[in-house]
Amino acid sequence: MRVPRLPNGELGEPYPAFKVRGKVMSWSQRKTLTDLSTGLPILQVSKERLHLHPTFAVKDTEERELMRIKNALFQFIGCKATATFVSTLGKNESINIEGNWLDRKVDLSINNTGQRAGRIMRKIMTMRNVFGGASTYTLQVAPGVDVAMMITLCVAIDMKNLDDERQRRRQRMHHHV
């Protein structure tokens, strides 16, 4: 993951800041976000299995839950979810996630205010995607918003998208049998 930052806080040329690791077809569907400046993992995103709504938990390296991402139950095309967490000030916060991968963009807004926290844009036909099986995204983060949190939301949305694609493939296979 590349994060564009200059020492004065302005946007600049992207440089690697975080790496996301995880097994593509694992049962646990656990992804780890590593800080490249230290080489240490900082958090994990995993899908929780026993929920009516598709739900993802974000935990620190001590397994403490930092954030929960709950998807809308009935969403045929696109993405609609809410991420809930406790801010560094101890306040309950939420990020609303809404968009459509067919349009290739998802908007992230703060606490139903409509104030944009960020935007994720998916690049479809890249060499990494076609030949390497890796998704490519552009992530815009509003000033003052935690970059690692926004990357985590991007990872969770990608995990849900991959889950949806697997389910569609299975359904097509069953219809052809």
Residue 105, amino acid? K
Query: Would strands 92-100 and 105-110 be described as parallel, antiparallel, or unpaired?
Result: antiparallel
Q: Look up tokens 């036909």; give the residue.
A: 125
d(CA 177, CA 158): 29
Per residue in 118-134, pLDDT tens? 898 876 655 555 455 56
Average per-residue pLDDT for the chain: 77
**The predicted structure's pLDDT at residue 1:** 43
Per residue in 57-72, pLDDT tens? 999 999 999 999 888 7
pLDDT at 16 over 80: no
Length of the chain: 177
CATH no. for 2-176: 2.40.160
